[in-house]
A and B are shown apart, each in its own frame.
Chain A
Amino acid sequence: MAIDPDTLVRFLDPADAGAQPGVLSPAETQILELINRKVAAAESLDELLAFLFDRLREISPCDRVSLAFVEENGRRLVSHRTRATYEPLLLGNGYAADLAGSSLETILHRGTPRIISDLERYLEQRPKSASTRLLVREGVRSNLTCPLAVEGRIVGLLFRSSRHANAYQDRHARFQTAIAERLGQAVEKAWRIEQLTAANKAYFEMLGFVTHELKSPVASMLMDAGLLMNGYLGPLEAKQREKLASLTRKGEYLLGLVQEYLDLARLEGGELKARLRPDIDFQTSVVEPSLELVRSQLENKRMELTRSIPPDLPRVTIDPDLVKIVMVNLLSNAAKYGFEGGQILLSALVSEGQLRVSVRNDGPGFSASHRSGLFRKFSRLDVPALRKERGTGVGLYTAWRIIQAHGGRIEAKSEEGRWAEFSYSIPQPS
């Protein structure tokens, strides 16, 4: 198309929009090659945009680069990444605008780049454009916008802006189109991963919130049941006691779920880091409080717990709060999945620079084929003998995460039909 510098808004012809060989300068070609490499290396959106911003400024007018994505089935455009030479950004990340009737809709519709040579004059013509007003207030005078397409579908827009009017010509638009072609797929992929991550995070936050809200009422119900059971509110008949015992078991089951989900929600909510502390007494800091939490479970199944821990067990370097979660999970599993009236053996020792702990229970155990899946999130054993035992499938996953965070190992062994043993080791500083 003919370039008319006085034309306020120009769209490149589709035939012109692609970058033909020879049309680009050597510097532009080099940037494209580097972008190809960065896309292939799956660099993050932030890294890609930072690179693009720095290089574009070297070879062309550029004070601002931003990426926006089409959301809600093409109804809305949301700004996701912006780099600029100045502050403050008035039209920043998260800025969302409906597409219907907007001038950007035309770009999406035509699929070709658009140049606005003077945003101040453009704003005079379109005084209702809130985004233009914000850009003008930022000091932006001209703008070049290219669609980001993936397999013919437009997924977003790539903006480049200058604080000078008439900054962009068709050759800039062609180069930006070439960039957008290379970025489209990478950008969409990165964006989808971001969306999934955000959805996952929101899910765990909600899980944490809901379980947190359940915690107190369930604990209160159990406490009242305990009062009734212990005769504080008058004597009970055998049948009433039986019902109460059943209520209590269900309440304890609920509280166990709450515990596991809260632990998981916390672990998933942020990067799990073990705050290692030296000189921890494993017995009093981990074993005793953990046993306290599973005591009623053991009593309910008339299980006998034996400890094999040397009285002179050296003090250890661990995150006691996290390791307690592992201990409670393993002991609680042993109680849940062990034979009624069976034995549980809890051993701990420090040898060869490792704290080694194991929990072994008499019980149906698991087959070798089930073993590797035990520590996966939401994994549940499909063993006929254990089918009535429900669980979240997160306890062992949580334990695995925690032991990983300590640089240790957690393992499971079993002789099917007889016993199961879970053990972990945590390296100790020499």
Chain B
Amino acid sequence: MQNGKFVILYIDDDQDFLDAVRTILESAGYIMVEAQSAEAGLKVYKEAKPDFVIVDLMMEEVDAGTTFVKELRALGNKAPIYMLSSVGDSLSTSTDYTALGLNGVFQKPIDPNTLLSVLKAKLKKSK
């Protein structure tokens, strides 16, 4: 938390998605920190100590997302991690996301109401 606000880390290689999610999160009183690669995301994670992490696992570097999740676990991460899934990923993405150490999945395009209600539920619980 920073100044009484929850910090959300969102990692996606598409700036348009980062901008859109930032608009939603900031309007609801969250602080968003972002990164465009798993490597940069790890750096931001260490600095910002986010309360919630959203990561697109299908970033351009193969396995970048899944490796990132493993590294967070190695760092003793406690924040919920949600991944993003696009249409057509259904064959390559295992539905067994818990095995990857994930807490849930958001579909792209992200529905603002779904995003905010999940954040509200998860962050209240972890407080």
- Give the B-binding residues of A (Cβ under 8 A): 211-212, 215-216, 219-220, 222-224, 226-227, 230, 232-233, 255, 258-259, 262-263, 266, 285, 289, 292-293, 296, 320-322, 324-325, 328
Contacts and interface: CB of A to CB of B under 8 A. Distances in A.
A322 B91 contact: yes
B95 A285 contact: yes
Given A220-B16, A289-B105, A262 B88 contact: yes
Contact of A215 (B16, B86, B91, B112): B86
Given A223-B20, A227-B23, A232 B112 contact: yes
Nearest to B16: A220
A223 B91 CA distance: 23
B60 to A, nearest CB: 10
B112 A255 contact: no
A233 B23 contact: yes
A259 B85 CA distance: 12
Nearest to A265: B88
A324 B91 CA distance: 9
Contact of A211 (B14, B88, B92, B112): B88
A404 to B, nearest CB: 16
A229 to B, nearest CB: 9
Nearest to B87: A259
Interface of B: 14, 16-17, 20, 23-24, 27, 86-88, 90-96, 105, 107-113
Contacts of A293: 87, 107
Between B86, B94, B107, the greatest number of chain A beta carbons within 10 A of the residue's beta carbon is seen for B86
Contacts of A321: 90-91, 93-95
Contacts of B93: 321
A227 B91 contact: no
A321 B96 CA distance: 9
A299 B50 CA distance: 34
Contact of B107 (A211, A258, A285, A292): A292
A325 B90 contact: yes
Given A255-B87, A321-B90, A325-B90, A219 B109 contact: yes
Contacts of B17: 219-220, 223
A215 B20 CA distance: 17
A215 B86 CA distance: 8
B112 A227 contact: yes
A212 B88 CA distance: 8
B95 A320 contact: yes
Given A226-B109, A226-B112, A325-B90, 20 more contacts: A211-B88, A216-B14, A216-B108, A219-B17, A220-B17, A223-B17, A226-B111, A230-B113, A232-B24, A232-B112, A233-B23, A255-B87, A259-B88, A262-B87, A263-B90, A263-B91, A266-B91, A266-B92, A321-B93, A325-B91
Nearest to A295: B111
Nearest to B19: A224
Contacts of B16: 220, 223-224
Contacts of A216: 14, 86, 108
Q: List 4 tightest A-B contacts by C-beta distance, closest first.
A: A262-B88, A223-B109, A259-B87, A222-B109
Contact of A220 (B23, B94, B109, B112): B109
B14 A227 contact: no
B14 A220 contact: yes
Contacts of A223: 16-17, 20, 108-110
